[in-house]
Amino acid sequence: MRKIVGAEPVNPIYQRLPSVIDGRIRVIAWLSLVTELLIVGTGGAVRLTGSGLGCPTWPTCVAGSLVPTPAMGLHGVIEFANRTMTGVVGIIAIATVVLLWRLRTERKDLFTIAIILAAGVLAQALVGGVTVLTGLNPVIVGFHFTVSLLMVCIATVLVHRVYLAPGPRVLIVPGGFAGLAHATSFAVALTVMMGVLTTASGPHSGDAAVRRTGFNAELLEHLHAWPGYATLVLTIVLLVASVGGKLPVRRFVVTLLVIELVQILVGLLQANLGLPPVLVGLHMVLACVLAAAMTALVLNLKAPTEITPDATKFTSTNEVSSSRG
């Protein structure tokens, strides 16, 4: 049988890849988000158990061995488990790229996000190596966490997009509400960044011999709390506005508020109980969950025009009202 010029080559593996967004793609998108959150937890366990140098070399765990030796004890196992988790995240990232390969032109947005996530895993592995080789420098450790948080947000975008049609999107909430939501996202970002700086100045360095930044950790705790409370106030205003206006994003606002309340409670408990490692680790993971919830809210301020026929009318009505006012 002759091959037709210009025809797509018949490849059984290629033919089995999704030609439309299906359950496989949605599952892998969720797995990407969940594993990005899990690796934050395992990374936190490394630091909070003092296992930051459990594997003192990189990319091997110890000179001459990729895996920890019995002499390295529990710290080596914990550190190596986090490195193994990086491999799991990497496999899922590659699987995402493969599953979207046949849709790389039609759904270029999804394919681009998948490539970014795959590249991010590699970048994070390199940053992790630098973290070990610099003796757990608190600045590098903080940067490592920040990149992990960004990866969580990008994975959230992927989950959001696999449920929506491609194409132009239109604002489905009033402009003032959208502006307030973006202001809230800034407050969330500021809260998280102050939290990273506070952590870099406090205990739980990952190893007893690691030096901290030298900043006043108690003062930084207050500077971390202030934007946190501002975030709470802004979210309450968003809740009132979304419920009162019966906006389609109100369930995302409720989710955001619940996460903030839990995060604040955990933060207060850890501060008053002497920073127990379990609560510190939970606080760190919740920060990423909070960032994901905030990202989801901002993403849902708009919707594709072809699946929201009333959205254009809603936006136009508001624009006319604004112009008349």
User: What's the rounded mean pLDDT across residues 120-137?
Assistant: 86
pLDDT tier for residue 179 given thresholds of 50, 70 and 90: very high
- The string of pLDDT tens digits covering residues 282-297 is 989 999 999 999 999 9
Query: Is 301 in contact with 178 (CB distance < 8 Å)?
Result: yes
| 144 pLDDT higher than 80 | yes
- The string of pLDDT tens digits covering residues 223-256 is 888 999 999 999 999 999 999 999 999 999 999 9
- The string of pLDDT tens digits covering residues 57-77 is 888 888 888 888 888 888 888
CA distance 173 to 176: 8
CA distance 26 to 23: 5
Three-state DSSP at 62 gives strand
CA distance 97 to 101: 6
Domain coordinates in residue numbering, the chain: 18-166, 168-306
Q: What are phi and psi of 211, to 5 degrees?
A: -85, 145
**Predicted TM-score of the model (pTM):** 0.85
CA distance 122 to 90: 8
pLDDT reported for residue 322: 38
